[in-house]
Amino acid sequence: MSTASVDRRTRRRQQTIDEILDVSIALMETEGVAALSLSAVARQLGMQPPSLYQYFPSKLAIYDALFQRGAEQFRDAQRKAVADVPVEQQLAHGIAAFGRWCMANQVLSQLLFWRTVPGFEPSPEAFAPALEVMADVQSHLQEAVESGRLREGAASEDGLALLTSMTAGLLSQQLANEPQASFEDGRYMKLIPVVLEMFFHHYAPTRGTAT
């Protein structure tokens, strides 16, 4: 078999995988994240359910691929948001990108940030982009510590947990109460600057001491 034939088969296979994931998201939007049905996915694609197993061995495998897709998209959106802004603004821009992406991708957000599917745990490969995001945020916090804008501890595991819990809490409230609102108009999303101010106040450098 020629290299061109192999490439065509690889492209067709990837196109089918992408279609399966797109249909899965659409079904999860209407039926609920945990209610995904392989039979329903196959019907939407016009294939027999056994054919689906040529691409995904189980429903959990589809969830895993969706988790990785979402984590990669989220990571890329956050990195793009901070690429061309001053260092001292990167944390705020990154968190805003988090909220904006989640509002635009609510199904994937539920899969990434809440345990909506009983028994599902992302594979290490799928989870890797999410770890990169956390490392990026921790790096922004560390920069703020080193520049004297935050005191030691802000970039610790506890500091990171506090910041992500506060921002995820706003997102949870937003999606629960105003899922149709835009990021700009969302009542809870508008509180992101307040949350950041609270975090910076909590980790404000001690007066008269060097960081």
pLDDT of residue 42: 94
Mean pLDDT, range 160-188, rounded to an integer: 94
What is the model's pTM?
Answer: 0.89
Mean pLDDT, range 83-110, rounded to an integer: 93
For 149-171, what is each residue's pLDDT tens digit? Answer: 999 999 999 999 999 999 999 99
pLDDT of residue 120: 95
pLDDT of residue 73: 96
Superfamily of domain 1-57: Homeodomain-like (1.10.10.60)
pLDDT of residue 9: 84
Across the chain, what does the average pLDDT equal? Answer: 92
DSSP state of 34: G
Superfamily of domain 65-211: Tetracycline Repressor, domain 2 (1.10.357.10)
62, 79 Cβ separation under 8 angstroms: no
**Residues contacting residue 166 through CB under 8 Å, at least 6 positions apart:** 195, 198, 199
For 49-58, what is each residue's pLDDT tens digit? Answer: 889 999 999 9
Torsion sign, CA atoms 87, 89, 90, 91: positive
**Residues contacting residue 90 through CB under 8 Å, at least 6 positions apart:** 82, 140, 143
For 57-71, what is each residue's pLDDT tens digit? Answer: 999 999 999 999 999
Between CA 96 and CA 69 the distance in angstroms is 20
Could you tell me the residue ranges of all domains in the chain?
1-57, 65-211
Rg for the chain, CA atoms, rounded:
20
Q: Give the confidence band of 210 by pLDDT, cuts at 50, 70, 90.
A: very low
pLDDT of residue 8: 82
Q: Give the confidence band of 211 by pLDDT, cuts at 50, 70, 90.
A: very low
